[in-house]
Amino acid sequence: MLIKRLHESTGQRLQAAGILESAREAELLLEEALGLDRAHLYLDGATEIPAQALAKLEAWLVRRCAREPLAYIIGEQEFWSLSFRVTPAVLIPRPETELLVEAALMVATTAAPPFRGPLLDVGTGSGAIAVALARELPEAFIYAVDRSPAALEVAQANAIRHGVADRVRFIATDLLGGVRPGRMFPLVVSNPPYVAREILPDLQPEVREFEPRLALDGGPEGLAIIRRFPALLKAALAPGGWFFMEIGADQQTAVLDLFRATPFLEQIEVRSDFAGLPRVFQARRHGESTCRAAQRADRRA
Ligand code: GLN
């Protein structure tokens, strides 16, 4: 069979299965299954395809038409221009989560005095956020926690793949359970489960049937885990430290109310994503960073 015809029929089958970006996904499936790059898809329109590659493509296409996410089929997802390994044990990194990384980096790279002490990623999943931060902040040490040991295996593989495994420590724990009490972090980031349990059944099949419930289900109104953060931050966010958390587009008011009632936080704000939807909550803990206090102590000495 010729690539051109195969390309067309793949797109048609995806479209018939209700997949919105059928043309783009057909390209990706062909590229990955046949080991071609995009240009060859068009240039080599008349090349014959080996039977083995054809069988692989067919198997993948059947899975995709059953609405399994492409990222799980090919086992990869790009985030922050890095290729991450993904399995059904982890939420597939979303492009809008890059906004959280961007916001956290902005603060981390301009902090004066610079952050001292490890950073914390709560609910790391595939490790996308922790690994992206570790890549961008070559001096940083990051603790990344998750309830799911299976997710942490994937995260560890991603840290190794991107050369930061010596600076990211993964801990299997619910929120802060495994982190040493009294340890304070100048930067805490999280993409917690925040989907309202009530609407889980309405999500698209790719999410509803294939992505880990543990990573999505935020309980009633999607706020159950988010409500635990003020206590977590009280225990773990260093004075002067920053907190960044992804939220659902309809949670801005509830989340602002919750954190405005948290006395030790200031500079509370929600940033919108590229679609104009509220997406990243941020706040700073009152007080001087421990680093500045340390510098003053140095001067006095
Ligand atoms: N952004 C994801 C979704 O809309 C949810 C991720 C999360 O709960 N942290 O499916």
Cβ of 216 less than 6 Å from ligand 1: yes
Residue type, 227: R
R_g (Cα) of the chain, nearest Å: 22
**Based on the domain organization, do 127 and 212 belong to the same domain?**
yes
Task: State which of 35, 66, 97 marks the end of a domain.
Answer: 66
Asked if residue 3 has pLDDT above 60, the reply is: yes
> Would you state the structure tokens that stand for residue 97, as one six-digit string?
């989560």
Residue 75 is assigned to a structural domain of this protein = no
26 and 86 in a common domain = no
Nearest Cα residue to atom 10 of ligand 1? 207
Residue 298: is its pLDDT beyond 50?
no
Q: How far is the CA of 105 from the centre of ligand 1 (A)?
A: 21
Ligand 1 atom 7 nearest Cα = 193
- With tokens 């994503």, the residue in question is 273
Structure tokens at 82: 């890095």
72 occurs within a structural domain: no
Contact 80 CB / ligand 1 (< 6 Å): no
From 86, 94, 204, the mutation candidate for ligand 1 (largest count of ligand atoms within 8 A of CB) is 94
The strand pairing partners of 282, in sequence order, are 244, 269
CA–CA–CA angle 192, 67, 193 (5° rounding): 5
Split into its structural domains, the chain has a count of 2
> Do both 61 and 89 map to the same domain?
no
Q: In whole angstroms, what is the distance from residue 271 CA to residue 66 CA?
A: 35
Which residues sit opposite 271 in a β-bridge?
280
What CATH number has the domain bearing residue 101?
3.40.50.150
pLDDT of residue 45: 64
13 and 130 fall within a common domain: no
| 211 and 113 in a common domain | yes
Atom of ligand 1 minimally distant from the CA of 222: 8
55 and 87, same domain (yes or no): no
Task: Decide: helix, strand or coil at residue 206.
Answer: helix
pLDDT at 262: 94
Instruction: Measure Cα distances from 10 to 19, 59, 211 in Å.
Output: 11, 12, 24
Return left, alpha or beta for 258; rule: phi > 0 is left, psi -120 to 50 is alpha, else beta.
alpha
Give the residue numbers spanning the domain of 9: 3-66
Residues 57 and 174 in one domain: no
Examine the pLDDT at 290 and tell me if it is beyond 80. no
**Do 24 and 143 fall within a single domain?**
no
CB 135 within 8 A of CB 162: yes
Task: Give the pLDDT score at 293.
Answer: 52
Pocket flag, ligand 1, residue 243 (CB < 6 Å): no
Indicate whether 223 and 104 sit together in one domain. Answer: yes
Whether residue 244 is found in the same domain as residue 149: yes
Q: Verify that 141 and 233 share a domain, yes or no.
A: yes
How do residues 235-260 score in pLDDT, each as one tens digit? Answer: 999 999 999 999 999 999 999 999 99
Going by pLDDT thresholds of 50, 70 and 90, the confidence category of residue 60 is: very high
Greater confidence (270 vs 175) lies with 270
**Residue 191 CB–ligand 1 contact under 6 Å:** yes
